[in-house]
Homo-oligomer: A and B are copies of this chain.
Amino acid sequence: MRLYGYAGKILRINLSKKSYAVEPLKDSLIKHFIGGRGFGIKILWDELPANIDPLSPENKIVVSVGPLTGTKVQSASRWVAQFKSPLTGIYCRSVGGGYFGAELKFAGYDAIIVEGKAEKPTYIWIHDDNVEFRDASKVWGLTTLFTRDIILDETDKRAKMIMIGPAGERLVKISAIVTDDWRTAGRGGGGAVMGSKGLKAIVVRGSKRPEIYDDQTLSDAVNEQIKAYREWPAVPPADFRRLGTNTGTYVWYFMGNFPTYNFQQREWDGIERFRPEILESYIIGHKGCYACAMQCGKIFKITNGPYGGIAWDFPELETEWSFGGIVGVNNIEAITYANMLCDLYGLDTISTGVAIAFAVELCEKSIIDKTETDGLELNWGKPEIVVELVRRIALRIGNLGNLLAEGVRRAAEIIGRGSERYAMHIKGLEMPAYDPRAMKGQGLGLVTGTIGASHAISWNKFEILGVPKKADPLAIEGKAELTKYVQDEMAVCETAVFCKLIVNHDVVNPVFYSRVLYSATGIEEFKDPKYLWKVGERIWNLERLFNVREGIDGKYDILPERFLKEPHPRNPAKGQIFELEPLLKDYYRVRGWDEQGIPTKEKLAELEIP
């Protein structure tokens, strides 16, 4: 069968043996899993034994792209890293942007599987059919900026890369995988997995281009897509081209999200600093990913105060929150600087901010004191503490830096003394900028997320944006259906690999996806949106099965007791708690899972999961 859209090959790299193999992309893999996130979970499900140590050579990293990656389809060229997470012990998918995904496709690969462990620091240099294992000793220990400059000097200045910083090398559990242009796959500790394998970077340069089945039809669809982007409403929270995710930050708070003071959610006038017009005043440039007219990445210039002198990728909404509201900081300069440090050291900004807030609340509650913080005086609203702790976590400096580098769940286990009450995570993954008490469907999505508390994979657009149709955030009725809807939809859209932001806004959905997917690949089955919905559900269920195989079943569909016992203190969610039990029960029913939250045989048969 002649393949369109796809490169048709998987590159398998064994670091222990310094060997690689090129494997053909199987027809059944394509049909059942389409690409990207689908490929990743299928490969991990088939190849990873249960209960391995995520930081052992037995773990694998799958970096995959999709049939639309590297085509003209807009916002479809992201890449997905998948692995067993050292932070959560379960499945993790973490998505990054920039140009790496397209370049991998151009080099002729739909996925890379990395196995084993290098004897000494290594980077992989892939230029089309050539694959080299290169000595990374020179850049080992360096931040991403210096790593990039040195490696691109050694390879090809036009190459694209993913890499780790010092945090990943030091096996910081909340470390990220970072591209040459800082479009980070942050969540779940992918940086530490690369670090544990002695893998500093994967560098790619390709000269091929994907063949398209029906270019005219594809072009027509893409033109419509670009037109839709142009007509995107120019009002918050949707003016992405001008503001990026800054558009939502301020609005979030007044929806009952953008949690303050480690989810204590006290009123906070610091939020006034996050008004879109204030954030906009920092913008001096725009950037984006391959084939995306949205260009939602913004460059912030910081001139005032002790962090003055930088021009760096802005902190996205989640980061404005994780170094902002959750630690009571409204200093945009410091937040931008801390965000830059995370890009440089290779840290997940969400988990890092939540870890810092955890430590501050432990001090507030007198569970730890200065003897355990290496002398740091932890308080809410201290930008210099946030910046300093980012560095200490990344470099594992001191007792506190080392502790928080493990993530809040493990840190709380080590500290004990009731500290777990303040560890804001689900299944080990730190919470994002949403409050389950204020949005019940969103909360249910967080609780049931296959990677833990993800801001990305269960984003409830019904509640948040009112698309494709409005839903009352505080109601619990019907939320199981909506949660399943957004979960399955995102799962399949991340096979393209489409950007979550575009799916969130319903500009891309399975209807549009099936149209461009069929034009690009000519695969008959993909014509039908219902087929795509089923692939999404298949992916979600297989991810769940992966976790169940690791012993993580419905017993772990829980969340910090704060959400169950402490009523949300401010409007519009004032007095609300999160009704876990009925929501979950309904969700299992809608999912066709049993009472332990395990997919039934019937469901698996229906989804053709053997």
Which A residues are within 8 Å of any B CB, using their own CB? 138-143, 146, 150, 165-166, 284-285, 301-303, 305-306, 308-312, 344-345, 391-392, 395, 397
CA gap between A166 and B312 in the complex, in Å: 16
Residues of chain B lying within 8 A (CB to CB) of residue A142: 301, 303, 309-311
Chain B proximity of A171: nearest CB distance (Å): 15
Q: A165 CA to B146 CA in the complex, in Å?
A: 20
Cβ contacts under 8 Å, A345 to chain B:
309
Q: Are A309 and B138 in contact (CB under 8 A)?
A: no
- B344–A143 touching, CB < 8 Å: no
Give the distance to chain B from A379, nearest Cβ to Cβ, in Å: 16
Cα distance A166–B309 when bound, in Å?
6
In the bound complex, what is the Cα–Cα distance between A216 and B344 (angstroms)? 50
14 CB contacts below 8 A, A to B, read: A138-B301, A139-B311, A140-B303, A141-B302, A141-B303, A141-B308, A141-B309, A142-B309, A142-B310, A142-B311, A143-B309, A146-B309, A146-B310, A150-B311
Measured CB to CB, the nearest residue on chain B to A170 is B308
Decide: B146 and A308 in contact? CB cutoff 8 A. no
A391, B337: Cα distance in complex, Å: 14
Q: Is the CB of A146 within 8 A of B311?
A: yes
CB contact under 8 A between A310 and B143, given known A138-B284, A166-B303, A301-B138: yes
- The reply to whether A395 and B138 form a contact with Cβ atoms under 8 Å apart is no
Name which residue of chain B comes closest to A395, CB basis.
B308
Known A142-B301, A142-B311; 11 more pairs at CB < 8 Å: A138-B284, A138-B301, A141-B308, A142-B310, A146-B309, A146-B310, A165-B309, A166-B303, A166-B309, A306-B392, A309-B344
Residues of chain B within 8 A (CB-CB) of A139 are 311
Do the beta carbons of B138 and A391 come within 8 Å of each other? no
Closest to A306 in B: B397
CA of A140 to CA of B311 in the docked complex: distance in angstroms? 11
* Neighbouring B residues of A391 by C-beta, 8 Å: 306
Chain B contacts for A392, CB-based, 8 A: 306
Q: A395 → chain B, closest Cβ, in Å?
A: 6
B residues less than 8 Å from A284 (CB atoms): 138
Smallest CB-CB separation from A167: which chain B residue? B309
Complex A-B, nearest 10 residue pairs according to Cβ-Cβ distance, in ascending order: A141-B303, A143-B309, A146-B311, A166-B309, A138-B284, A142-B311, A308-B395, A306-B397, A142-B309, A166-B308
Q: Which residues on B sit within 8 Å (CB–CB) of A285?
A: 138, 150
In the bound complex, CA of A455 to CA of B432 (Å): 55
Q: A142 to nearest B CB, angstroms?
A: 5
Q: How far is the CA of A301 from the CA of B310 in the complex (A)?
A: 22
How far is A150 from B392 in the complex, measured between Cα atoms in Å?
Answer: 30
Which of B141, B306, B309 is the one whose CB lies under 8 Å from A301? B141
Alpha-carbon distance between A195 and B166 when the two chains are bound, in angstroms: 36
Q: How far apart are A281's CB and chain B's nearest CB, in angstroms?
A: 13
B residues near A141, Cβ cutoff 8 Å: 301-303, 308-309
Task: For A309, list chain B residues within 8 Å (CB).
Answer: 141-143, 146, 165-166, 344-345, 395
**Which B residue's beta carbon lies closest to that of A304?**
B141
Least Cβ–Cβ distance between A386 and chain B, in angstroms: 16
Q: Please, which residues of chain B bring their CB within 8 A of the CB of A140?
A: 303
- The minimal Cβ–Cβ distance linking A459 to chain B, given in whole angstroms, is 33
Q: Which residues of B contact A312 (CB under 8 A)?
A: 146
The docked-state distance in angstroms from the alpha carbon of A138 to that of B285 is: 9
Provide the residues of chain B in CB contact with A150, threshold 8 Å.
Answer: 285, 311
- How far is the CB of A587 from the nearest CB of chain B, in Å? 43
Considering only CB atoms, which chain B residue lies closest to A153 in the complex? B285
Measured between C-beta atoms, what is the minimum distance from A390 to chain B in Å?
12
With a 10 A CB-CB cut-off, give which of A303, A305, A309, A345 has the most chain B CB atoms: A309
> Which has the most chain B C-beta neighbours within 10 Å: A143, A146, A308, A310?
A308
A308: which B residues are within 8 A, CB to CB?
141, 166, 395
- What CA separation (Å) do A311 and B138 show in the bound complex? 10
CA distance A138 to B283 in the complex (A): 10
CA–CA, A112 to B537, complex, Å? 68
Task: Give CA–CA (A309, B305) in the complex, Å.
Answer: 24
The interface residues of chain B lying within 8 Å CB-to-CB of A344 are 309
CA distance A347 to B168 in the complex (A): 33
